[in-house]
A and B are shown apart, each in its own frame.
Chain A
Amino acid sequence: MENNRVKFGFGLSVATTAILSAILVVAKEMNTVLKGWMKEFTGHHWVTHGILMLVFFLVLGFILTKYKADESLKLNDQRMSLIVGGGTLLSAIIIAGFYLFH
């Protein structure tokens, strides 16, 4: 049970963070103030983006694990495969689609 809690908590966090990262890409490219802040924070917007995503992934993963997201969302390995695969695919489509038409 504890194994599933960690596995599904962090799996859900991977999918959520991947989609959020793609949304942040669009947001920072469309908003110069946001991109300027991200650049100022570490010296490069890409470094800030990476740090934000890594922190979000770890914090959300621990929260979902602690609050037993696997039970409340009735997660299992099969659903987790779809969630991780879907999140990754959606993120890739948003990022590539944005730069293709931007």
Chain B
Amino acid sequence: MNIFKELLLFSHVAFGVMGILAGVWLFVEVLNVSDQNKTRILRASLTVSFLISLSYLIGGYWYVFFYGPDKAIIKSGVWPWAHGFFMETKEHLFFVLLLLSIYLPVAVFKSDLLTNKSSRKLVLTITGLIIIIGLVMEGFGSVISAGVKMGLIGR
């Protein structure tokens, strides 16, 4: 068993979950914006961006260098759609998640969230999308893992 490969995969999932949680933290802070939490909002937006980007880079490295054998198992197994739909959709939808995460701090830093309600709605929209797509990514990841398991059971 390649421990490095497994550690990469766990890190990808862990940073993704932490990114989603940071998104929830930012969402709540923006809903309760005041003079006291303005700095926290800036920090939370940077945290989301950093964690999602890290999850993307680690997941991407794992996908490019280690996914091949798992893909072969899934495709020859009883759940070939775990790759055909779930992995293909996940690997391409992640680009959108990355774009939103990079854009989030820009929207936060360039807005006056305390006085402008529409700006708050924009930041909440971006953050909400990051949380939803992030959760979809986590769910799809678990189906892909189950696809490998089903492929191995069938052997």
Contact = CB atoms under 8 A, between A and B. Distances in A.
Interface stretch (B7-15, B22-30, B96-104): B96-104
B89 interface: yes
Nearest to B96: A18
A88 B129 contact: yes
Interface residues on A, range: 35 or more
Interface in B107-138: 107, 110-111, 116, 118-119, 121-122, 125-126, 129, 133
Nearest to A89: B129
A99 B87 CA distance: 10
Interface residues of B, number: 30
B88 A84 contact: no
B31 interface: no
Q: Which of B92, B102, B118, B129 has the most chain A CB atoms inside 10 A of its CB?
A: B92
Interface of A: 3-4, 6-7, 10-11, 14, 17-18, 21-22, 25, 43-44, 46-47, 49-50, 53-54, 57, 76-78, 80-81, 84-85, 88, 91-92, 95-96, 99-100, 102
Nearest to B118: A77
Interface of B: 60, 63-64, 84-85, 88-89, 91-93, 95-96, 98-100, 102-103, 106-107, 110-111, 116, 118-119, 121-122, 125-126, 129, 133
A47 B96 CA distance: 14
B111 A92 contact: no
Nearest to B111: A7
Contact of B119 (A44, A77, A100, A102): A77
